[in-house]
Every structure is written in C-alpha cells, then in structure tokens.
Amino acid sequence: MTRFSTRAIQAATRVPHVNQIASAVPIYQAAAFSATDAAELGDVLTGAVHGYAYSRIDNPTTAALAAAVAELEGAESGLAFATGMAAIHAAIVSVVRAGQTIVVTNAVYGTTRDLLVRVLGGLGIAAEFVDPTDPAAVEAAIARTKAPALYVETVSNPTIVVSDIAALAAAAHRHGALVLVDNTFASPYACRPLELGADLAMHSATKYLSGHSDVLAGVAVGSRERIDAMRPILVDVGGALAPLAAFLVLRGLPTLAIRMERHTETAIDLAAWLQGQEGVARVLYPGLPGDPSHAVARRQLSVYGGMLAFELSGGRRAGQAFLDAMRLAERTASLGSVRTIISHPPSTTHRQLDEAALAAAGIAAGLLRCSVGLEDVEDLREDLELGLAAAVEAGQAK
C-alpha cells in the first residue's frame, strides 16, 4: 500500500469519469496533461496527433473558445490569447518582418500604435499611417512601400470611423498584401471581416465577447494557414490564455447578440440627443444619418454598435470636468461592458501621443469616448446632463 503523501496526491488528482455532456465547457485548470506513453507524448508535442501536453501550448478550454469565435466569425481556425494585444502582436509579426513596412489606418488604439512605433519599430519594422476613408491613398501607400500587410480597425478607436473593409481588402490584395482587422468595437455579431475579404480578424475578448469587465483575453481567427503561422508565436512568446479566463469569455458569447442589440438601441438614442446639447461640438456615431461613416456602416454592419464619441467645445478642460461630474458612468479606459464607460482618450487610451500626433489621428482635445452599457437610457441621459453642465461651466471659466 502506498504511503500517505503519495495517496493524497493520487486521490486529489484523479480525474472523474463522466458519461454525460456538461451544460458548459469544463474549466481544464491544469498546467499539464499526462500521456499514455512516451511515444504519445512525443506525437502530441510535435503535432503529429491532436492532444494536450502543456497548457502554454494548448488547453481544451482555451481551444473551445478559439473554435467558438472562429465559428461566429466564419473562419477556418482560431487562437486564444492572454489579451487582445497579444493577439494583435502575434498577427502582425506572423506577417511582417524586419526591414518591411506595415500600412496602418491613422486612428487606431493607442497601445496598438505604441506596439507598432516603439516596440516593433525598434526591431526594424516600419509603420506608415494612412486615412482609411481614402482607399486610393491606402492602395498607393501599399504599392509604394511594398507592404506585406494592411492593418485596420473595423470601427476606429476612438474616432468611430468605420473602415470599408471590402474596398480596402480589394486594394491590398491587388498588391499582395494581407489584411489584418481589429474587430473589437464591432464584434462578430455586427461585422465579420473575413466575409468582406480580410485575412485575419482579432478581438480583445475582454470587451464585447465577454461583456462583463471581469476577464482579460484575446482571440485571432482566420484561415488554417494564417493561424498556424501565429501558433509558434503564441507558444514561444508565452501569450497563452488561462482556462478560467477562457471559460468566462465562453460564458459571455451566448448573450452577445442580445447585448449588442441593446447597446445599439441606447447608443442611437444618446447620440441623437447629444447632437442638440450645449457645449457639444460634434457627435461621432455611424448610426446617425449625417455621420461620415453612415453609408459604409449601413452596408457593412448588422448593428451600429455601442461605441460613440463626442467632442466638447471647451477642449481638454471641459472633458476632464465632464468626467469628474459623472455619477453613473464609470471613468476608466475599457469598453464593451454591461456598465457605461466614458473616457478621455487624450489622457487615457492615447496618452502616448503628443498634440501633433493626436491632431493627425483626428483626436480633438475635448473628445470623449463612450462605451454605452445596458443601463436604462433615461438614467444615462441624466448622467450625461450632469457632465455637460460641468463641461459648459468649465469652458466658461477663465
């Protein structure tokens, strides 16, 4: 008979046999998986047979998440990552090499820009920023730089510009460039970039896919060939997603459509209301008929989504006063949650940019980005009224 410590280890790690199908994907909270023999372990580690050996390489729960998002996006394959930025990093470096240039739309998430300019720029990868609303200029930049890839956001962060993915993909493919799309702001419910010609789509699953601001995760989807090119980067850099985090995102996916419909309904109401308010210079929301992105959004999006932005005429001081007056909306830098979140991009998500870079990206000093939550619209309108009153007062102060 084995001794106590040995028996304790064996008893506590014995996996139960279950014939029935669980109503939720189980959390395989294991760092490693034991093989039947040495030959099987070698085959699993080399990829000769499908299986699991070490959760940094693959895990059943994270694989289930990747497969689910790939199915929703209409993709052949997917990979789950620890964060959206890990997915974006792997997508870019799987395509672009040192000495090459990647063409990028001018308004992108601040950390994505920092990754491109500071991190990858230091490794010999150049980035050229272009206006996504001018496909001819985008194509010219790809042709001139011989870029292997074009990087766009379905809906730009934070200026809420909707890129015409079909037109941009056609332009890029004419010159042999792949198209990488950050689809976080839209979600697969609103837009599926691969169906429009993109080669890879990435998500910060922290946002709409999970929907509850309680997990960090990222996902990339595409053809099997493109995802296989990303897999070694995930494994070797160590951007693996934890099984519990994968479970939390999987929990959010079944309600994605319902949430996106409600986010959109409320956002349309608030955007229309904001247009007539004192102190608001302009409102950026593709669901508004007069918005520059409205025509593209009508063709490309099934719903307009929950992200809107508005520019205060009082500038940076007005923006900060607005945030300080909020009682309901959260003051933070995330988005896609059940809670409404309002941020001031020049001092948060795009704090890395100086005034000239902000202007080049179309980010005004008084711009506020609003991720509309699931609260009652009347309560949100009352909260915005508090912010606007404080912003107007701040703008009038000497």
Catalytic-labelled residue, pool 164, 182, 199, 291: 182
Q: How far apart are CA 35 and CA 43, in angstroms?
A: 10
Q: How far apart are CA 172 and CA 164, in angstroms?
A: 12
Catalytic residue check, 43 = no
Catalytic residue check, 207 = yes
Q: Which residues, at least 6 apart from 34, have a Cβ–Cβ distance to it below 8 Å?
A: none
Scored b (16 or more CB within 10 A) or e, 24-39 reads ebebbebeebebeeee
Catalytic-labelled residue, pool 28, 58, 109, 164: 109
Catalytic residue check, 146 = no
Catalytic-labelled residue, pool 207, 259, 262, 369: 207
Catalytic residue check, 109 = yes
How many alpha carbons fall within 13 Å on the CB side of residue 171? 24
Catalytic-labelled residue, pool 52, 56, 316, 339: 56
Q: How far apart are CA 27 and CA 15, in angstroms?
A: 13
Cα–Cα distances in angstroms (integers) from residue 137 to residues 117, 142, 297, in the given order: 21, 9, 20
**Token pair in block for residue 340:** 């409404």
| Residues identified as active-site | 56, 109, 182, 207
